[in-house]
Chain A
């Protein structure tokens, strides 16, 4: 069975600092991986996805993630945090014929 862990339920960074949100997955076969963001009172919005074309994936709003098979990780980064990045972030895994499995989420706070 697939599973996703996200280290840190809450991460705080200063505006302009590096954002690093961690995601590790467990899957018997190489999965497809996704990062989503959720703003208050809204649904989830796709940030980026990994589908084996390239290990470094660039997404929207300056975010990127790197797939590391040896570490079973797919960490999300952004070089410089902006106040508008404050939200909840979810990592998800999916394989053919199986439903999406989401991690518990990490709430990102950006301090002025």
Chain B
């Protein structure tokens, strides 16, 4: 079974631009979560989608948004990029949203803002 696939792996942007990251979950998984990972802040939860609906949202500004498609694939968008948005963005999928369902992670997209 193929794992979680994130594209692209690396991305370089400049301040003020916008970016879209993509995540394809494990086949059959309907829940997709996004995280931002930085050396200073660790892993921070962005949002979770289940069956095309946002179920939970972390404490990030409105510049960060996401969506999920009917095939469970998900995208996240960051507008008006800032230097502080440089990070590893991780996507995780799980079979459901019940407690105890482990999340399975992709290898992430490393975003660098110049």
A: residues with CB less than 8 A from B are 31-32, 34, 36, 41-46, 49, 51, 90, 94-105
Contact of B105 among A45, A95, A101 (CB under 8 A): A45
Chain A residue numbers with a CB within 8 Å of B101 are: 94
Chain A residue numbers with a CB within 8 Å of B97 are: 96-97
User: Is there an interface contact between B104 and A46, defined as CB atoms closer than 8 Å?
Assistant: yes
Please give me the 8 A-B residue pairs with the lowest Cβ-Cβ distance, nearest first: A43-B105, A96-B99, A51-B100, A102-B43, A32-B100, A44-B105, A99-B56, A43-B107
User: Is there an interface contact between A90 and B107, defined as CB atoms closer than 8 Å?
Assistant: no
Total count of chain B residues near the partner, CB < 8 A: 24
Of all chain A residues, the one with the shortest Cβ separation from B106 is A43
The A/B interface has a contact count, at CB < 8 Å, of 57
Q: A32-B100, A96-B99, A99-B48 are in contact. Are A43 and B33 (CB under 8 A)?
A: no
Is B8 part of the binding interface, using a Cβ–Cβ cutoff of 8 Å? no
Chain B 32-70, CB-CB to A under 8 Å as 1, else 0, gives 010100000011010010000000101000000000000
User: Is there an interface contact between A100 and B99, defined as CB atoms closer than 8 Å?
Assistant: no
User: Is there an interface contact between B45 and A100, defined as CB atoms closer than 8 Å?
Assistant: yes
User: Is there an interface contact between A96 and B98, defined as CB atoms closer than 8 Å?
Assistant: yes
Q: How far is the CB of B102 from chain A (nearest CB, A)?
A: 5
